Structure 1
Amino acid sequence: MASYRIATIEGDGIGPEVTRAAIRVLSEACGAQHLDFVMLEGGAGHYARTGHVLPDDTFAACRDLDAVLHGAAGLPGIVYPDGTEVGNDLHLRLRFRLDLYANVRPVKLLPGVLSPLRAFEGGGIDYVIVRENTEGLYASRGAGVVLRGELASDTLVVTRKGTERVARFAFDLARTRNGAPRDGKRRVTVCDKANILRSYAFFRAVCDEVHAGYPDVAIDYAYADAITVHLLKRPDFYDVIVAENMFGDIISDLGAATAGGMGIAPSAEIGDRHGLFQGAHGSAPDIAGSDVASPVATILSGAMMLRWLAEARADPALVPAAERVEAAVGTVLREGSAVPHDLGGRAGCTEVTDAVCRALA
């Protein structure tokens, strides 16, 4: 197994706790000699101290090292003059500067976790949302117009290149999966508002064009408002969902809630050359330092990092390590030996991490 250098930004709030937990687990799974976690500064707290949310040396490391592991960013009251949050800007800058165009959010009901959807408490939720990550409505970040305190506008941007590449990513991903739990069929669902806005009709049309090259994968469509109902009523129908930036952001959090919450929801932001991995949750500064945060989302994001490195660096030896991490988390949750607070248990960050490491051993 080769060695890899991981650009590691702990960030704010619970970020340092969950990042260190993930480092422990990943080092246990891979062997400390194979992963070198290079600690870097960045986030809202760093901005408050220095005026820089993403220092130049941190960006250079994220660009040049093998992958990026991020804890969380953001603190109450630390905002830019226009009122936008400083913490969010850390990974937004990395997202755009590293061209991390595919935000990958697995939604999977893990062993031992009760879903608020009673009909699916025994399983049946296992799909992935692929969110276009560099365009859409969020492309207006920092460029919206506020006119005389009377009018505000932001622009929705959809390009052929941006849509083609995220659609290809979604169809390629579907080819690697086992299909939807309901029928085993590999399918990509296009989430949009093509019935209302030309930009979304264009998004759907480009996805249709890409689908022509994937006859082995079915295509499906859902309007963004309707899919919020479908994800509650029939989540087992879905395999891979591809969506514009803002819609993908919204439905990803809804999906996470059906599978146990943000504290166990992993996330990856992937481009052609770079990958950033972090839990889908925020920095939760209200519980920072109290050892009650769940490290599960960041640990599972680390497993996603290992799988991505295995493919990006042609190192299949990393796949068994990722599988061991995922299995260890499943064992801990299924046996109930260390259930985190956000899932109704009493185990803190350290206790959950210890239990996962024991399961690995």
Structure 2
Amino acid sequence: MRQFRIAVLGGDGIGPEVIAEGLRVLRAVERDMKETTFVVEEHTAGAGEYLRSGDPLPDSTMQACREADAILLGAMGLPAVRYPDGKEIAPQLDLRERLELYAGVRPVRLYHPLHTPLRDHAPGSIDFVLFRESTEGMFWSRRNTYARNAAEVVDLLRISRSGSERLFRAAFREARRRKGRLTLIDKANVLPAMAYFRMIFDEVAREFPDVETDRVYVDAAALYLVRDPGRFDVLVTENLFGDILSDLAAGLVGGMGMAPSGDIGDRHALFQPAHGSAPDIAGKGVANPVAAILSVAMMLDWLGAAETRAAAGRVWSAVEAVCSDPQNRTPDLGGSMSTSAMGSRILDAL
């Protein structure tokens, strides 16, 4: 019997609500497994924990994440809770950096035409994966400090060869599993660091001659995502560019409630809905749990056992079946289903 330890960090706002639905799905597929079990361990982290103890990511939580087979996270941060320097509480960034979760993986798929603001798009016509470098780039400067009376503040964009190579290889492997197309998103026409980023991409591309590649500047990529999202299969980019474009991409398929994500390294991986804590709707039972449930599916696939990968396929199929019916919509999609009702509908479809 294979046992997987899952560290669960519900976090803030709607995080615990949507993760509860993801765990219902996890337990449902577990019941059909003959050789696999999950030990779920819940730990505290986030803005609420910062208010309680002064530390948004306690040592005990960090250690549990290091020891777990995978991490499942809800949402962290509250707009009104900030460090003294004005930055928002974001321990998920600490987890990415400390565990070297360098590949931010953001799948984007359209399940129903009513979910997109674009005209004439059938289910599945928008279907791509964005890879975002998650440990450096412009976020490298996030720990910088500055004097309140400073005449200027300078943040640095860090691109390293090792960080870029491992990101690109992960993206190429994913492109090889999918349709064999990979698009680099950069700003190599202006920034020397981006020209370096592109040079490393071109070098790694020679290791994957079977994968078709193209290169698009980030401003043009924003345009193409809106005008012709079907041109993309796998995209790879820097941290800040990926942060922005992944939200734009989510908006093409129904919003952040439809946006799962994984932050994946060589030894550890964390899975979470890409949305924020949404404190304005916390406790109302109206948050969309689809992103959390799809993040559970990503986790099951990443764990790599035959049973967990089969279970991931079942979850993806159940979400596809439920979301293809326009009656199944939470308020963010223009419907009236509650969080638990949407979770139950997906459970019924498993």
Name the TM-score class by shorter chain: over 0.9
CA distance in 2, matches of 1:250, 1:10: 24
* Pairing 1:303-318 to 2, within 5 Å after superposition: 303-310=297-304, 315-318=305-308
* Pairing 1:33-52 to 2, within 5 Å after superposition: 34-52=37-55
* Pairing 1:184-195 to 2, within 5 Å after superposition: 186-195=180-189
CA distance in 2, matches of 1:320, 1:111: 24
* Pairing 1:170-249 to 2, within 5 Å after superposition: 170-177=171-178, 179=179, 186-249=180-243
Q: After alignment, is 211-220 or 322-331 more displaced?
A: 322-331
Please name the residue that 1:338 is paired with: 328
Rate the CA distance shift 1:214–1:146 in 2: closer, same or farther, 3 A: farther
Please name the residue that 2:261 is paired with: 267
User: Structure 1 regions of 5+ residues with no counterpart?
Assistant: 180-185
Deviation (angstroms), 1:30: 2.1
CA RMSD of aligned residues (A): 1.4
Deviation (angstroms), 1:292: 0.3
CA offset digits 1:164-206 (Å, max 9, x no partner): 11000100110111x2xxxxxx211110000001100000000
CA distance in 2, matches of 1:39, 1:150: 45
Please name the residue that 1:2 is paired with: 2
Deviation (angstroms), 1:359: 1.1
Secondary structure in 2 matching 1:204: helix
Rate the CA distance shift 1:42–1:100 in 2: closer, same or farther, 3 A: same
Question: Is the contact between residue 63 and residue 274 of structure 1 (CA under 8 Å) also seen in structure 2?
Answer: yes
Deviation (angstroms), 1:31: 2.2
CA distance in 1, matches of 2:145, 2:53: 26
Question: Is the contact between residue 71 and residue 298 of structure 1 (CA under 8 Å) also seen in structure 2?
Answer: yes
Please name the residue that 1:325 is paired with: 315
Secondary structure in 1 matching 2:101: coil
CA offset digits 1:121-150 (Å, max 9, x no partner): 444111110001111010111125457332
Rate the CA distance shift 1:355–1:112 in 2: closer, same or farther, 3 A: farther
CA distance in 2, matches of 1:238, 1:268: 19
Question: Is the contact between residue 10 and residue 70 of structure 1 (CA under 8 Å) also seen in structure 2?
Answer: yes
CA distance in 1, matches of 2:98, 2:124: 38
Equivalent residue for 1:281, pick from 275, 278, 303:
275
Equivalent residue for 1:53, pick from 52, 56, 61:
56
CA distance in 1, matches of 2:96, 2:111: 28
Please name the residue that 2:72 is paired with: 69
What is the identity, as a one-letter code, of the residue corresponding to 1:224? Answer: V
Deviation (angstroms), 1:56: 0.5
Q: After alignment, is 247-256 or 337-346 more displaced?
A: 337-346
Please name the residue that 2:23 is paired with: 23
Q: Report percent identity of matched pairs.
A: 48
Question: Is the contact between residue 113 and residue 123 of structure 2 (CA under 8 Å) also seen in structure 1?
Answer: no
CA distance in 1, matches of 2:268, 2:124: 33
Please name the residue that 1:182 is paired with: none
CA distance in 1, matches of 2:146, 2:185: 27
TM-score by length of 2: 0.96
Secondary structure in 1 matching 2:336: coil
Residue 168 (structure 1) aligned with residue 162 (structure 2): no
TM-score by length of 1: 0.93
Question: Is the contact between residue 144 and residue 154 of structure 1 (CA under 8 Å) also seen in structure 2?
Answer: no
Rate the CA distance shift 1:122–1:338 in 2: closer, same or farther, 3 A: closer
Question: Is the contact between residue 338 and residue 351 of structure 1 (CA under 8 Å) also seen in structure 2?
Answer: no
What is the identity, as a one-letter code, of the residue corresponding to 1:21? Answer: E
User: Structure 2 regions of 5+ residues with no counterpart?
Assistant: none
What is the identity, as a one-letter code, of the residue corresponding to 1:47? Answer: Y
CA distance in 2, matches of 1:226, 1:235: 12
CA distance in 2, matches of 1:335, 1:345: 11
Question: Is the contact between residue 112 and residue 333 of structure 1 (CA under 8 Å) also seen in structure 2?
Answer: no
CA distance in 1, matches of 2:198, 2:171: 13
CA distance in 1, matches of 2:109, 2:11: 26
CA distance in 1, matches of 2:53, 2:45: 10
Deviation (angstroms), 1:323: 0.9
Equivalent residues, number: 347
Q: After alignment, is 207-216 or 118-127 more displaced?
A: 118-127
Question: Is the contact between residue 328 and residue 335 of structure 2 (CA under 8 Å) also seen in structure 1?
Answer: yes
Question: Is the contact between residue 26 and residue 325 of structure 1 (CA under 8 Å) also seen in structure 2?
Answer: no
Equivalent residue for 1:300, pick from 272, 289, 294:
294
